[in-house]
């Protein structure tokens, strides 16, 4: 634990500013570690954390609306990260059981409350990006793109991100 915390701080000294975690990494324990490591340098870093609606649905009966469940999940992440806000809050997967409009509206509300500065989606299609962005502007799309996987060049994702300033 001590070595990992020192490593994350050293990474910042060397220029790393973005730290990416998720509520499902180590069942939340990764967020605790990231929060502890970054607390003294919080103003120098960007924290991105994700919620995964596949692993932990946001439509659980008796737990409130999807919007309420998204905020509740964020509140749990904020507590684990020991911070008052997250720079980027990302859907680890695009929810299949809730409309993108509902998701984007929830994120807009969290931005308005100051709990997040921006929002993002992972594994989103061009149509999903355009639909969600029309409700609340997206900051980041995290899709597979590498020397071996060039799909975003053909499926419209890069074009949409460029056009929308994502």
Residues with catalytic function: 25
Question: What is the gyration radius of the CA atoms in the chain, in angstroms?
Answer: 16
The phi and psi torsions of 47 (rounded to 5 degrees) equal: -105, 125
What is the H or E stretch that residue 142 is in? Answer: strand 140-142
Cα 115 to Cα 104: distance, rounded to the nearest angstrom: 14
Location of structure tokens 């991100």: 161
Per the CB < 8 A criterion, the answer to whether 59 and 69 are in contact is yes
The 3-state DSSP class for residue 69 equals helix
For 44-67, letters b (16+ CB in 10 Å) and e give: ebebbbbbbbeeebbeeeeeeebb
């Amino acid at each position: 634990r001590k070595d990992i915390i020192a490593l994350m701080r050293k990474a910042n000294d060397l220029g790393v500013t973005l730290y990416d975690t998720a509520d499902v990494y180590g069942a939340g324990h990764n967020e605790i570690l990231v929060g502890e490591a970054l607390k003294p340098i919080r103003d120098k870093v960007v924290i991105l954390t994700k919620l995964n609606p596949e692993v932990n649905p946001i439509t659980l009966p008796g737990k409130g609306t999807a919007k309420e469940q998204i905020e509740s999940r964020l509140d749990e992440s904020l507590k684990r990260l020991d911070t008052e806000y997250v720079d980027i809050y990302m859907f680890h997967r695009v929810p299949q059981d809730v409309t993108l409009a509902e998701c984007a509206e929830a994120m807009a509300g969290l931005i308005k409350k100051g709990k997040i500065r921006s929002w993002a989606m992972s594994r989103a299609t061009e149509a999903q990006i355009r639909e969600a962005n029309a409700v609340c502007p997206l900051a980041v799309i995290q899709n597979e793109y590498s020397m071996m996987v060039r799909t975003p060049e053909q499926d419209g994702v890069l074009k949409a991100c460029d056009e929308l300033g994502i």
